[in-house]
Amino acid sequence: MQLTAQAWLIWKMSGSSQLLALDPILQATPILLFSLIGGVLADRFERRHMLIFSQCVQMSCALVITVLVGMHVVKVWHFLCCSFIAGFGQAFGGPAYSALIPTLVPKEDMPNAIALNSIQFNAAVMVGPALGGWALHTLGDTWCFGLNTLSFLFPIISLLMLTIRFLPEKTGESILGSMKQGILFIRQQGAMQALIVLGFCMTALGVPMRTFLPVFADKVLHRGSETYATLLSMSGMGSVVGALAVAGLGNVKHKGRIALAMLMCLGVGISGFAFSRSFILSCAMMFFSGASMMAVFAMVSSLVQLVVTNQMRGRVMSVYNLTFRGGMPVGNEVAGQLVPLFTAPTVFAVNGMLLVALGLYFLLVQRRVAEL
């Protein structure tokens, strides 16, 4: 809900696609700077405590924005600063979160667990914009941020109720030395390098479409915030369906080939959305691309988790999260510069075609992923 209201307010207050892209860039910047350190700490400290810290930081940012919006003194730079601070919390919470999940389920159930875990996020993406659009028009924008603030209490309470504990091995090695160990492990696993490259390219070319949905709703479809919320909800609904499909497959063979097929489907969906001038067709393409994006994300994430050992999990997942999340600001920045020059439909039509070409490359030429 906050993302829906925040993106819409930034667009309406500034009318700038560059500032619209800058918001997720600033949120991702601390992840780029501190994620590797967060991965080392996730292998040295209780991961549950790191997650609680992360949630508290993000809740504080949401509370500040709620107060500023409620007092009608909010500026664009307030959103940008809070996004940066929230990203700092995520830099330490992300590796701990990724490393904690596999300790809760057996290894053979990993793909199902990752897919089902993805549903909770995308169910929020599906329901949140719908509630956000309703709250934005009926109750006012303050409610979008206030309800988001309250929502952080639930994961904090859930984490406090967990009984599982992570007991890290004692080590006298420096943080830099531990980081080098994680990078060396990745270099020794050829398929891991390919998965990391794939994750970066997928987010750089696929995720910016969600960032620029306000532009499509306003300039291409010539509608208001309710259309933006509907498109985002359709993407979230498709993501839930995609995650359920992956969970239903279970520990299926040829995960790499399935992931590459879904990557190409994602490219087709993005290009189809970019070319569409019909609201119905745009909703269908958002649903299709959302399902494809979640399917490839769940498949690639499960492959990474299955390859890594538990003692290296925090460091390796921090590198994966760094590249995965790093693709978002890179893609948003490039799109933010190109959209004013070539229009949003042109930029994202090309992005979709590049994703199809990337899938074909890993399927036919560089086959490390396809062989998994």
Which class is domain 2-161+174-364? mainly alpha
pLDDT-wise least confident of 36-40, 59-63, 140-144, 296-300: 140-144
Distances (CA, A) of 208 to 17, 107, 323, 330: 12, 33, 15, 9
Q: What pLDDT score was predicted for residue 99?
A: 75
- Core vs surface per residue 20-50: b (16+ CB within 10 A) or e: bbbbbbbbbbbbbebbbbbbbbbbbeebbeb
Q: What percent of the chain stands above pLDDT 70?
A: 88
Q: How far apart are CA 176 and CA 181, in angstroms?
A: 9
| pLDDT tens, position by position, 92-140 | 888 888 777 777 777 667 667 766 666 665 555 555 555 666 666 677 7
Strand, coil or helix: what is 16? coil
Strand, coil or helix: what is 153? helix
pLDDT-wise least confident of 153-157, 168-172, 316-320, 337-341: 168-172
Contact 186, 316 (CB under 8 A): yes
Residues 6 or more apart whose Cβ sits within 8 Å of residue 129: 1, 4, 228, 229, 230, 232, 233, 236
Q: What pLDDT score was predicted for residue 285?
A: 94
Band (43; pLDDT cuts 50, 70, 90): confident
Least Cα distance to 298 among 254, 340, 243, 345 occurs for 243
| pLDDT tens, position by position, 225-272 | 778 878 887 887 888 788 778 777 766 778 788 889 999 999 999 999
Band (37; pLDDT cuts 50, 70, 90): confident
pLDDT at residue 357 greater than cutoff 90:
yes
Domain ranges within the chain, ordered by starting residue = 2-161+174-364
Q: How far apart are CA 236 and CA 151, in angstroms?
A: 18
Q: How far apart are CA 118 and CA 371, in angstroms?
A: 24
Mean pLDDT for 55-68 is: 92
Band (284; pLDDT cuts 50, 70, 90): very high
Q: How far apart are CA 229 and CA 144, in angstroms?
A: 12
Angle at 300 between CA 369 and CA 371, to 5 degrees: 20
pLDDT-wise least confident of 70-84, 168-182, 287-301: 168-182
Least Cα distance to 286 among 249, 331, 233, 240 occurs for 233
pLDDT at residue 61 greater than cutoff 60:
yes
Tokens at 166, concatenated: 């992570």
Tokens at 139, concatenated: 């109750």
Q: Is 364 exposed, middle or buried (0-12, 13-18, 19+ CB in 10 A)?
A: exposed
* Better-predicted residue by pLDDT, 58 or 321: 58
Residues 6 or more apart whose Cβ sits within 8 Å of residue 6: 23, 65, 79, 145
Q: What pLDDT score was predicted for residue 168?
A: 64
Averaged pLDDT score across all residues of the chain: 82
Contact 133, 226 (CB under 8 A): yes
Mean pLDDT for 281-297 is: 89
Q: Is the dihedral of CA 44, 49, 52, 57 positive or negative?
A: negative
pLDDT at residue 88 greater than cutoff 80:
yes
